Chains A and B, each alone.
Chain A
Amino acid sequence: MKNPIASTLTYIFLIIFGAVMVVPFIWMLSTSLMTQGEFNKNDSIFIPKEEYHVWKDGNVERRVILVQSKDGKAVIHVLDSEGQISKDFEEYLEVPDNQVEMVRKKPSFHFENFINAFKKVPFATYFANTLYVSFFTLIGVLISSVLAAYAFARLEFKGKDLLFYLFLSMMMVPEPIYIISSYIMLDKFNWLDTYNALIIPWCVNIFTIFLFRQHFKSLPQELFDAASIDGCSTFGMLTRVVLPLSKGVMATAAVFSVIGSWNSFMWPLVMTDRPELRVLQVGLSYFNQEASTQTTLLMAASTFSIVPILIIFFLAQKQIIASYAKAGLKD
């Protein structure tokens, strides 16, 4: 773009749009580092700061709560080191008000919100459950997808197109349509409240089959001809020719699968009841109900559950975005 005014305008719009996308995350992070009182006062948006009063009693400085300041006298509560009202002093202490000063600290980060959130809720267990479910789902997805995609991309058999359309059309059916009947079915299997219910039904992922199929189709035929002349079996071609050339697409499929498992909510909410089996998202939803007024703890918990996915995303953002874009383009 040559026109500098148009170019500047474009950047301004892009920055505004970017700000709208990012501000909720920044706000989440900053709120997660505030005290609840500070959040409720709502005057330190984005940068956590701290305000408190101190009483200068000779050389000793003590943190206090200022109750009233009138006619040169200040009524205070003296606080102990834990922030509770100290028992060593009278509850309402009257001192000359020039001994009481306001202290402003900026920024001041309250990382203890994370510790307090962890104390209230076994997030470590939820985290471990999510990892466990994501990992085994990933294994299942990779095995079933690679095999099916290989058949669709490189083998000839009767009903191939029909089966492929069956797969594709199943992809379009939304989860809420079959979640009730799945619940009944898993109940008959005695799988409710087990990891099986969270893992096995999700070991088929039509999207990753599609992804692998595209890639396998793009491999040059000469490789397969050469392998065939060397007496390589069909399965041998998969393990010795196809898979070594599929590391990139494997990584992409893995990321898709893990992001999907990590973020899935309605299914684990419905299929499990035992607290020990809760995955992160379900645990977070219970915490949302229990601690609805403890904003800063909720934000700490949200931050904690978002960060691992964001790390994966930032590490592989180029590949992830490129593959989402590719998957959106119909062939």
Chain B
Amino acid sequence: MKTKRKIEPYLYLLPALVLLLLFRFIPILMSFAISFFDFGITNIGKFIGFGHYSRLFADKEFWQSMGNTLWLVLIAVPASIILPLIFAQLLNQVERLKGFFRTIYFMPYVTSLVAVSIVWKIIFSEQAGLANTFLGWLGMKPQLWLAEPQGILPLFLENIGITAPQWMDGWLGGPSLALFSIIIMTVWKGLGYNTIIYLAGLQNISKVYYEAADIDGAGKLRQFFKITVPLISPTTFYVLLMTTIVSFQTFAQIYMMTDKGGPLGTTKLIVYYIYEKGFDKMDMGYASAAAIILFIVILGLTMLQRRLEKTVNY
């Protein structure tokens, strides 16, 4: 009877645990191992140590993918925090139609990335796309969108009639308009989720703070920055962490909306790079090394955010 008691809880865990070990834990360990081996088509070759890693660090395409991914994260993550916070705040102040707006905002989040990628690819199409029609209504020049390899900063300067300085030619010119189009779509897709999370967080802030601020004569804007922003910071850290992890994994948009990360590789993101090396070129050891680098980057950022959260906690 006693031994049965001791074993029983583990029996409940068994199905989930076996699946988790077999299909998550072991593959993650295997990724590390594979990255040190030469790999033919699913057949393990000889041990080459850090060979893949040194090849990776010398690969311009790898650095370009990393740079592109960094741009996406640097733009998409702040946008996916600031906009949802503002809209959650607005939504929290109204009574009528609140449920309706919430539903509308959440719609993109539940729909498939593949299908909405098709829709956005056509929105950004040069000929009859909605994006250019919209620019036309505003009296602006049509753009190439997904086919435009030029950085958004020089492109912007050019459009207002200023010659872009030399230093904007490289990475400092910002993401290409093609990548920026992907960023717009990616932010659109995730906004609803973050808005809902913020809305739930806002509802947990006691009204007492605002009432006290009202008595002290603090304006609404001041209340937002002095009360809402600090008190919502645990939610912000959660949103920051999840959005960063998800942004690093961007894949379907690139696969669906671009021609293999083009134009000129400006939309090639790190996961697409891994996919291409691993499953197009079947260079699986090399692709695993890239995956491990991505893993380390994400792990590092996660730990950094945890640190930051502890020091900033109100």
Chain A binder among B6-14, B52-60, B163-171, B174-182: B6-14
From A27, A184, A299, contact of B284 by CB (8 A): A184
Between B24, B125, B127, B302, the greatest number of chain A beta carbons within 10 A of the residue's beta carbon is seen for B24
Q: Which of B16, B25, B97, B271 contacts A144 (CB 8 A)?
A: B16
Question: Does A184 contact B42, Cβ atoms closer than 8 Å?
Answer: yes
Chain B nearest CB: distance from A156 CB in Å?
7
Q: A177 touching B114 by the CB < 8 A rule?
A: no
Of A85-93, A106-114, A321-329, the stretch lying at the interface with chain B is: A321-329
Asked, given contacts A39-B128, A187-B42, A321-B196, whether A21 binds B191 with beta carbons under 8 Å apart, the answer is yes
Are the C-beta atoms of A204 and B106 separated by less than 8 Å? Answer: no
Chain B residue nearest in CB terms to A305: B115
Q: Which residues of B contact A188 (CB under 8 A)?
A: 42
Q: Counting CB contacts under 8 A, is B210 at the interface?
A: no
Q: Are B287 and A182 in contact (CB-based, < 8 A)?
A: no
Q: Which of the candidate stretches B74-82, B143-151, B154-162, B250-258 sits at the interface with the other chain?
A: B250-258
Asked whether B36 is an interface residue with its Cβ less than 8 Å from the other chain, the reply is no
* Residue interface mask B94-132, A partner, CB < 8 A = 1: 100101011111111011111111111111010110100
Q: Which of B97, B107, B274 makes the CB contact (< 8 A) with A25?
A: B107
B261 within 8 A of A: no
B127 touches A42 (CB 8 A): yes
Q: B residues within 8 A CB of A151?
A: 9-10, 12-13
Cα distance A330–B269 when bound, in Å? 31
Complex Cα gap A151–B16 (Å) = 11
- Does A143 touch B at the CB level, under 8 Å? yes
Known A1-B93, A1-B94, A147-B13; contact A328-B238, beta-carbon cutoff 8 A: yes
Closest partner residue, chain B, to A17 (CB atom): B87
Report if B217 contacts A (CB, 8 A). Answer: no
Quick one: given A14-B87, A24-B188, A288-B118, are A177 and B31 in contact (CB under 8 Å)?
Answer: yes
Q: Does B245 contact A (CB under 8 A)?
A: yes
Q: Is A18 an interface residue (CB 8 A)?
A: yes
Contact A263–B27 (Cβ < 8 Å): no
Partner of B30, one of A181, A269, A288: A181
| Contact A184/B34 with A31-B122, A302-B118, A329-B201 known, Cβ cut-off 8 Å | yes
Q: Which of A116-167 contact B (CB under 8 A)?
A: 143-145, 147-148, 150-152, 155-157, 160, 163, 166-167
Query: A69 within 8 Å of B by Cβ?
Result: no
Interface residue tally for chain A (C-beta within 8 Å): 94
User: What's the tally of chain B residues with a CB closer than 8 Å to chain A?
Assistant: 93
| Shortest CB distance B277–A (Å) | 9
How many angstroms from the CA of A187 to the CA of B102 in the assembled complex? 44
Interface string of B273-299 (1 = CB under 8 A from A): 011001100001001100110110010
Query: Hey, which chain B residues are within 8 Å of A21, CB to CB?
Result: 104-105, 107-108, 188, 191-192
Tell me, yes or no, whether B20 is within 8 Å of chain A by CB. Answer: yes
Q: Of B128, B252, B294, which contacts A177 at CB under 8 A?
A: B294
| Highest count of chain B CB atoms <10 Å: which of A25, A150, A180, A320 | A180
Contact A157 B6 (CB under 8 A): yes
Provide the bound-state CA to CA distance between A234 and B106, in Å.
40
Tell whether, in the assembled complex, residue A295 and residue B122 are in contact, meaning their CB atoms are under 8 Å apart: yes
A175 within 8 A of partner (CB): yes
A296-331: CB near B (< 8 Å → 1, else 0) gives 001101100110011001100110110011101110
In the bound complex, do residue B255 and residue A285 qualify as a contact, i.e. CB atoms below 8 Å apart? yes
Q: Which of B10, B28, B118 contacts A299 (CB 8 A)?
A: B118
In-complex Cβ contact of B102 among A20, A145, A321 (8 A): A321
B295 and A325 form a contact (CB under 8 A): no
11 A-B pairs with C-beta separation under 8 A: A18-B104, A42-B127, A145-B16, A151-B10, A157-B10, A204-B15, A204-B20, A288-B118, A288-B121, A299-B122, A306-B112
Residues in B lying within 8 Å of A, measured CB to CB: 6, 8-10, 12-17, 19-20, 22-28, 30-31, 34, 42, 87, 90-91, 93-94, 97, 99, 101-108, 110-123, 125, 127-128, 130, 133, 188, 191-193, 196-197, 199-201, 204, 234-235, 238-239, 242, 245, 248-249, 251-252, 255-256, 271, 274-275, 278-279, 284, 287-288, 291-292, 294-295, 298, 302
Q: A181-B34, A200-B23, A265-B113 are in contact. List 18 more A-B contacts (CB 8 A).
A: A7-B94, A10-B90, A14-B101, A40-B128, A42-B128, A152-B13, A167-B16, A173-B24, A174-B248, A185-B30, A206-B20, A288-B117, A305-B115, A306-B112, A310-B107, A324-B106, A325-B196, A328-B242
Residues of A within 8 A of B (CB): 1, 7, 10-11, 13-14, 17-18, 20-25, 27-28, 31, 39-42, 45, 143-145, 147-148, 150-152, 155-157, 160, 163, 166-167, 170, 172-185, 187-188, 200-201, 203-204, 206, 209, 234, 259, 262-263, 265-266, 269-270, 280-281, 284-285, 288, 295, 298-299, 301-302, 305-306, 309-310, 313-314, 317-318, 320-321, 324-326, 328-330
Closest 9 CB pairs of A and B: A42-B128, A181-B30, A178-B27, A325-B200, A204-B19, A148-B16, A157-B9, A151-B12, A328-B197
